[in-house]
Structure formats: C-alpha cells, structure tokens
A and B are shown apart, each in its own frame.
Chain A
Amino acid sequence: MMRISSLSATYPNGFNAVKKADLKLSSGEILALVGESGSGKSTLIYASLGLLPKGSSVSGKVFFDDIEFFALPKEGQRKIRWKKVSLVLQGTMSSFTPVLTIKRQFLEAMEEHLSLTPGEAMAKAVELLEEVGLEGNFLARYPHEMSGGQKQRCAIAMALCCDPDYLLADEPTTALDVITQAEIMNLLKGIAKRRNMGILMVTHDLALASSTADEICVMYQGCTIETERSDIIIKSPKQPHTIALVRSLSMMEE
C-alpha cells in the first residue's frame, strides 16, 4: 500500500498548493485523483516523489509499503525511484528527451536499477513494448517519430521497465482522442490487475474516473476532501464540492 499522510507542499513563490492531503493506494487497484485545475492534484504526486522545483517546501509523510520516502537520504530516494514507484506524464508533455533514442531512454533506467546484461535488457524492453501494443522496432525511433498515442504507450512501457509496485500517472489521457483515451485506460486497467500494481491517476475528468477507477479521491483547493469507492461516490457524494462535480457530470449526460 502506498500511503500519503498529511502532505503539504508550497512552491518557491510562496503558493501553498497542497494542504495536509491524505491518500491510500492499494496494490492492484486504480485510484483516481479528481479535481478542477489548480486544486493541487499534480503537485501532490510530484511532491510525493520529491520532484518539486528547488526551493519548494514539503512536509508530511509518504509511505511506499514500509518505506518512508522522505526519511531516506537523497541517494536512497534516488534508488527507489522507478523501481518502487514510477511516473507517467501528461500526453501534452514531453516525457522523452528529444535528442535520444527510445532504446537509450529505456535502457538507462534499467541499467541504473536492475542488473541485467544488455541482451536481457533489450529483450525486456521489447517485451514491454509488446505489452502496451507497440512493435519492438519502436526502440530505434526518436520521440518525434511517433504519434501522441504511441508516445503515451511508450511512456507507460518505460514506466514499467523496472517492475515498480506503484505507478503515478498525471492526466495520462488528456489531449488524446477519445478512442486512444479508451485504449490507454484499458491498458492501465489490465496492467494494474496483471502486475498487481497500484495506479494513482490524476484527472479532471470525473466521467473517465468513474468508469475506470476503483476508488476516487476528490481534491479541492489543495485538500483531499473526500475519498470513496467510485460507484458509491457517484451515487451519494457527501462533500458540497463533490456534489457539484457529480451534478455537472449528470448535466452533461442529459
């Protein structure tokens, strides 16, 4: 289980984006972190990995299984990253360094955290690509030689390359077309079940969340105001903001 306990995060300019957030992510399940723009959901996941810009202040505790992340020294944190918990960015963002091949970007992560021979690493990379529905020859490509959907699948494959227990995804399907959106969501669902991984997915799309996630956590102005199983929260939201969100959902469906 991944646990976030009373996490607060402030950016260098003084903006307090996250205020004492609490979260629990179980293995094998998808938790959707839902909220409007500016509610602090992206900040939450970057803060829990220690990836906020220099000068930010973060307080609280983050646990990956029994490991308390912030209690580790910098070097220890670095070793855990990708191996225990990995990251997938928004579709619009560039996950890949534009001047390096996909192969290089896969292999460097595996080299850092696993001890495989180059041959084994290559084979594993090809396997992962096939798992997300891409051909092995994508390894030889550069990031600009792929479509948005292909890049996202690639990013997911790369996120799995060290077999992490948890995956944090920041709006993984935003800016993709509806069909690709559905494909990517199914992919993630399959991955969560097959590998018994906990996936924390940030999204502003409540409809998407309710159809894919097992649990939904609602964030509003930096606080995690409500967390509930997805079917329950849609039928009986408790907090006023959640109610408003659910209402707008049904308005759209009408």
Chain B
Amino acid sequence: MNTLNNYWLRRVLSSLLVIAVVLSLNFFLFRLMPGDPTGSLLDPRFSPEAKQELLKSYGLDKPLSQQFFMYVKQMLTFRFGISFMSQRPVWQELAERLPNTLLLLFPALLLSAVLGTLLGVAAAKGRGRLTEKAVLLSGAISFSFPSFFVQLVLLLLLAHAFPIFPLRGSLSVPPPTGFWNLLVDRAWHMALPIASLVLLGFGSWALYVRNLMVKVLGEDFILLARAKGLRENEVLWGHAFRTALPPIVTIFFLSLPGVISGAVITETVFSLHGIGKFLLDSVLGHDYPAAGAAFYLMSLVTVICNLLADVVYTFVDPRISFRRLR
C-alpha cells in the first residue's frame, strides 16, 4: 500500500489515465459519427464482396470491443494506419509535419518567456512607473485579443501593405537549394508566425513574473540581503529572481500544451505545414485515422509536458527533493 502513496507512481498513473481517456474518445467519437466511416474510401460501384474485403482489412467487421483493443494496441505501438485523404501512412504525414510545428512553437515560447520575464522583473523593480503600466496593459491584451486577429493584422501590415514577409506557407514553392538558402527561406517564412505568438504571449508572462517578483521582493530575506550591503542587482537576480525561478520554470512547461493547442490556429492563418493544420484538415475531411492519430500525438505531448513540469521543479527548488516526495 505504501508504494501507491508514492507521488511519482500516482502521477504516472494519472497520466496513463489521461491517455486512456483520449484513446477512448478517439475511438468512440469517430465511430459515433453519422454516416459510414469508410464512405470516403469506398467507391459506391464496388461490389459487396470488395467492400467486405476492404472492411476486413481495416478490421471494421469485428465486434466493437475487439476493435477497441486492436485500436489501443495500434495506438500504443504508433501504428496509425493509412490516411483516407492522402492514402499515405499517417505516421509519415505526422513525421513530416512535426518538425515544422516544433520549429514554430519552441522559439515562440522561449522568446515570449524570456522577453516577458525581463519585462516582468523590470516592472517589479521600478514600481509605479511606465513599465508597470505597460506590463499590465500588455497582459490584459494578451488575454483578450484573439490570436488569429493579431495574426491577420500582422499579415495585412507586413505581408500585404508592405510586402516584406510571405503570405503563406512554411517554405517557398519551389523550395530553394543549398543549406543556407533553405535556412534563410525557412526563417523568413517563420518570422511572422513566431513574431505573432511572441507578441501575444509575452504579456501574460510579464504579468505573471511581475506579480511573482513583487511578492518575493516583499519577503524578509530580501530585506536582509539588502541589509547585507549586497548590490541591488545581486539582490534582484541572485536572491529574488532565483526564488521565483521554480514556479516560472513550472509554468514554462505547463504552457507548452496551451501553445500546442494554439498551433491549430496559427498554422491555419499562415498555412504552415504542421500538425495543428493537419488535425483541422483531417477533421474537416472526415479522415479519422489521421485525425485520431494527430489528436493522440498532441495529447501525448501534453501529458509528457505536465510530467516534465513536475520533474524539473524538483531540480530547481531545493526544498522539494525528487526522491523524498510522497
């Protein structure tokens, strides 16, 4: 019984439960849909025998419970089947697109976090001045402006009115040759999407960090650090920020899932060749193997990020030890 109280065991079990729920949702949602799931596959001119053959090859002739177990087994081993729309293996489609999505999300998240943190610390330091008002304002904007609106405006300004950046796509068509040309082309296409995400994201970071820092700066050990005659920068960064770091790091990992969620919209606005857009297109095109696999993948990444957040926290906060957590 003692082992069940183990914190990590509970967390892992919880994560597995989430995956189980996701898989069940995937399975039942797509089968509960009105209409024949293979309607887009089958040519109505197929003979009944040919139809049966096809259904058999997809395993759709077996009882529901058996189909469910087959499905779970396939998902856990990453055998995602063939996409209805493109007739290619789903994992191939996903593998093609995953790097693009990551290339969008990681730089955006990193930049927002860094910029937002710097602004938040600055606002906490110089309270009552313009920076603080700027932080509060950008935070409010972060929470109320729809991402696609900001992105459309950016496109209008910087891709239409002043055509500096491309209107759509992850790469130019045809893509340029040579490593550096390719890199520059990539960067040029990613510039607006990443910039829009940073613009939308840094506000909430700044607000959060500022509130955190204000709280920490009011603590007694900060008073003592000043009394020790340490330089103000040392007090601010070496003591206050360092104390605020564990929750900031946690929030970083916990905000990854939200950013992944938002990728659906960003990739749609900028027509990027990524997983978010793939999910949307598959859903709209009733391509169940593809949609299910994409959703499963995104949920998997979310669960991993949540776990990572807990793990990393134990390394950043000396008060919480990895092994001693109960």
Contacts and interface: CB of A to CB of B under 8 A. Distances in A.
Asked if A and B bind, the verdict is: yes
Contact residues on A (Cβ < 8 Å of other chain), bracket: 20 to 34
A79 B221 contact: no
B22 to A, nearest CB: 36
Interface in A123-163: 142, 144
Contacts of B220: 89, 93-95
Contacts of B229: 78-83, 109, 112-113
Contacts of A108: 228, 230, 234, 238
A89 B318 CA distance: 23
B227 A97 contact: no
B239 interface: yes
B241 to A, nearest CB: 10
B191 to A, nearest CB: 37
Contacts of B243: 97-99
A87 interface: yes
A100 interface: yes
Given A108-B234, A142-B318, A142-B319, A98 B221 contact: yes
Interface in A74-90: 78-83, 86-87, 89
A78 B224 CA distance: 12
* Chain A interface, DSSP helix/strand/loop, else mixed: loop
Nearest to B127: A54
Contact of A82 (B219, B223, B228, B242): B228
B73 interface: no
Given A108-B234, A142-B318, A142-B319, A97 B221 contact: yes
Contacts of A112: 228-231
B132 to A, nearest CB: 13
A96 B228 contact: no
A234 to B, nearest CB: 32
B221 A109 contact: no
Contacts of B234: 108
A86 B225 contact: no
A100 B230 contact: no
A79 B127 CA distance: 25
Contacts of A225: none
Nearest to A90: B220
Contacts of B317: 99
Contacts of B127: 54
Given A100-B239, A142-B319, A89 B224 contact: yes
Nearest to A54: B127
A100 B228 CA distance: 15
A185 interface: no
Nearest to B220: A93
A49 B227 contact: yes
A56 to B, nearest CB: 13
B242 A51 contact: no
Contacts of A87: 224, 227
B313 to A, nearest CB: 12
B88 interface: no
A46 B220 CA distance: 12
A99 B221 CA distance: 11
A78 B226 CA distance: 8
A153 to B, nearest CB: 15
A79 B239 CA distance: 19
A95 B228 contact: no
Given A54-B127, A94-B219, A97-B242, A81 B318 contact: no
A86 B227 CA distance: 7
10 contacts: A51-B223, A54-B127, A80-B229, A87-B224, A87-B227, A97-B221, A97-B239, A99-B317, A142-B318, A144-B318
Given A49-B227, A99-B243, 11 more contacts: A54-B127, A78-B229, A80-B229, A82-B229, A93-B221, A95-B220, A97-B222, A109-B229, A112-B230, A142-B318, A142-B319
